[in-house]
Amino acid sequence: MPTSVISVDRLGKRYGSTIAVDDVSLEVYQGEIFGLIGPNGAGKTTTMECVQGLRKPDRGVISVLSLDPQRDSSELRQRIGVQHQEAHLQKRIKVWEAVDLWSSLYRKTVDPEALLTRLGLESKRNAWFMTLSGGQKQRLFIALALIHQPEVVFLDELTTGLDPQARRAIWGLITDIRAQGTTVFLTTHLMEEAERLCDRVAIIEHGRMLEMGTPADLVQKHCPERRVVFTSEGPGLAERLKEVPAIQSIASDGSTHTLRGEGDDFVTDVISAIASVGIRVRGFRTEIPTLEDVFLKLTGHGIRD
Amino acid sequence: MLNGLWKLTWVEIKVFVREPMGVVGSLGIPVIMFVVLGRLFGPGVGSVSAAAAAAPPFNVAILAAIIIAIGAVLSLISIISIYREGGILKRLRATPLSPLTILGAHVVVKLLFTLLGMALLVLAGRRFFPGAMQVNLIKFAAALLLGTLSILSLGFVLASIVPTARFAQPLGAAVLYPMLAVSGLFFPLERLPPVVRIVAQAFPTTHAVSLMKGVWDGSGFAAHWGDVGALILIFAVCSAISAKVFRWE
């Protein structure tokens, strides 16, 4: 049984008449990357900030590292690291000054210079915050979140607004953080990001949690269908593949054939069937459903709507 | 958490001086104004310069000092609203820093720069109006700092209600400059309409001016304990209001 580091039980939070979070319960285990995913305004940030102790929940019980975020907030701040969505620092603060300031606030810290090097910021240590690129700013915020060797790191929409290259670099850093034993709790509205990074995800919309599990399990549960599309000139193809049990249907359009089936072994079964009957294949691709498809299925609309 | 206060204050000082226009605006302009108006009217009441034979209409040194204080408060309102809008306050709040330290650092910075402005004022006075500044500098500085602190607490209330950073300076100016106009610096309070006179008693500027005038005249703090009490009371009330209504994001 994995150790639970964050537990949220029936969290509720409203702003005036707007319900931001409604009855959300979740567990985050030690050493995993947990993703809260959903569109903007779904309640991800509110949930995360209640967990951090920055907001007071209306209802529900939260425990982080066995601490109450409201009552034990000063102790909790020593043990968690945070990065906020669309955050800034003082325009004219230098990178090293920010890291130096932050490292003076905690009981124990890592070597700031080594951290800057690890995040690729050593050449920017004397640069003002306002002169940094989007990716560099986010790496600095990661540095500030990691300076005190926190046990849990919260990352809110970390890669929003970054170009693909910078985004990939950040992804690498996040998996490094986990490799060092730190639990990561992140939010994202990018399904690709969630799928790449997260061990487990919770899908949230309009403040309600729709699903929770590993990306693979959620795909398997909600969108089990896999497709193989290949092109072949061979005649009588449907007949020759009909006996393969894994294939549920075959649709042919000229020389393009689409095979449908379910399960992890479907693609392997198709490949071995094609090889054993000796069909000459010119083109071959697979269509595997992703978290994006799961989201579409659960909500009836795409995440960017 | 004194270490955090000191570090944060030092960072805020560096960040502030890296924007030269802010420093020139809050220190340079009041000092230049002091020299120019001092040439016209004499730097203070009772110390008429050779150029101005008529009795000076108001104390230019006190005007310059209070302009420095108001400039510091306007700058504070602006910085707080920019920090709020940019999520800087929120990010600092997620650290072990106490809320009081985060805001207190700005108060310390503003008081230090007010003191620096006063030092420049004194140097300019010695250079351009030798012998005219016979005021007790320590008492004058204490009066100015107490006045600034009281106006700063009002600044936090304004910083709480200003909707966006764009409105910070205009709103602050629209509140503080009219307060200065009825502070008794330019004409005696007795010449104001009774209602305005009563309302002016609630403004920190009125008591700051009165206290500084007293120090300038040599009557000192003892004769102005009412102003000292009023400044402390305004500070306490505004701090209490800020603690209730201050928005971190």
Among B7, B21, B79, B91, which would you mutate to test the A interface (most chain A Cβ atoms within 10 Å of its Cβ)? B91
- A117 pLDDT higher than 80: yes
CB contact under 8 A, A84 and B11: no
Looking at residue B52, what is its pLDDT? 45
Q: Which residue has the tokens 């005021």?
A: B135
- Percent of chain A's residues with pLDDT above 70: 99
Distance from CA of B141 to the nearest CA of A (A): 30
Q: For A21, phi and psi rounded to 5 degrees? A: -135, 130
Q: Mean pLDDT across the stretch A90-98?
A: 96
Compare CB distances from A78 to B12, B19, B96 and report the shortest one's residue.
Answer: B96
Q: Which residue has the higher pLDDT, A285 or A278?
A: A285
Cα–Cα–Cα angle for B141, B144, B147, rounded to 5 degrees: 150
Residues contacting residue A72 through CB under 8 Å, at least 6 positions apart:
none
In DSSP terms, A251 is beta-bridged to A258
DSSP B56-107: PSS-HHHHHHHHHHHHHHHHHHHHHHHHHHTTHHHHHHTSS--HHHHHHHHH
Neighbours of A61 (CB within 10 A): 12
CB contact under 8 A, A84 and B88: no
Which segment of A177-191, A226-240, B67-81, B120-134 scores lowest on mean pLDDT? A226-240
CB contact under 8 A, B4 and A89: no
Compare CB distances from B88 to A78, A90, A92 and report the shortest one's residue.
Answer: A90
pLDDT in tens, A202-215: 999 999 999 999 99
Confidence band of A304 (pLDDT split at 50, 70, 90): low
Dist. CA A267–CA A259, nearest whole Å: 10
Burial state string for A117-131 with b = 16 or more CB within 10 A and e = fewer than 16: ebbebeebbeebbee
Looking at residue B40, what is its pLDDT? 84
Q: Mean pLDDT across the stretch A75-104?
A: 95
Looking at residue B152, what is its pLDDT? 97
| DSSP designation for A124 | G
Length of chain B: 249
| DSSP designation for A254 | T
> Which token pair is A221?
């549960």
Cite the DSSP H helix spans in B162-224. 168-181, 194-200, 204-217
Confidence band of A302 (pLDDT split at 50, 70, 90): confident
Task: For chain A, say whether B191 makes contact (Cβ under 8 Å).
Answer: no
**pTM, two decimal places:** 0.89
Q: Which residue has the higher pLDDT, B2 or B87?
A: B87
CB contact under 8 A, A90 and B15: yes
SS3 assignment, position B158 = helix
> Which token pair is A222?
């909600």
CB contact under 8 A, B3 and A104: yes
Strands A80-83 and A59-64, bridge-based pairing: unpaired
Residues contacting residue A155 through CB under 8 Å, at least 6 positions apart:
A83, A142, A145, A174, A184, A185, A186, A187
Burial class of A188 by CB neighbour count within 10 A (0 to 12, 13 to 18, 19+): buried
Dist. CA B107–CA B150, nearest whole Å: 11
> Which token pair is A89?
């620092």
- B28 pLDDT higher than 80: yes
pLDDT in tens, B123-153: 999 999 888 888 899 999 999 999 999 999 9
Q: For A135, phi and psi rounded to 5 degrees? A: -65, -40
Confidence band of A172 (pLDDT split at 50, 70, 90): very high
pLDDT in tens, B34-73: 999 988 887 876 544 444 444 457 888 999 999 999 999 9
- A271 pLDDT higher than 80: yes
DSSP A39-103: -TTSSHHHHHHHHHTSS--SEEEEEETTB-TTTTHHHHHHHEEEE-TT----TT-BHHHHHHHHH
- A236 pLDDT higher than 90: no
Task: For chain A, say whether B96 makes contact (Cβ under 8 Å).
Answer: yes
| DSSP designation for B184 | S
ipTM: 0.89
Compare CB distances from B96 to A77, A88, A93 and report the shortest one's residue.
Answer: A77
pLDDT in tens, A118-158: 899 999 999 999 999 999 999 999 999 999 999 999 999 99
Among A88, A95, A97, A155, which would you mutate to test the B interface (most chain B Cβ atoms within 10 Å of its Cβ)? A88
Distance from CA of A46 to the nearest CA of B (A): 13
Residues of A with CB under 8 A from a CB of B: 52, 54, 74, 77-78, 82, 84, 86-93, 97, 100-102, 104-106, 128, 144
Dist. CA B94–CA A139, nearest whole Å: 18
pLDDT in tens, B177-203: 999 999 999 888 888 899 999 999 999
> Which token pair is A207?
């403040």
Dist. CA A29–CA A101, nearest whole Å: 31
Task: For chain A, say whether B164 makes contact (Cβ under 8 Å).
Answer: no
- Whole-angstrom CA distances from A259 to A297, A299, B111, B217, B239 are 21, 27, 76, 98, 72
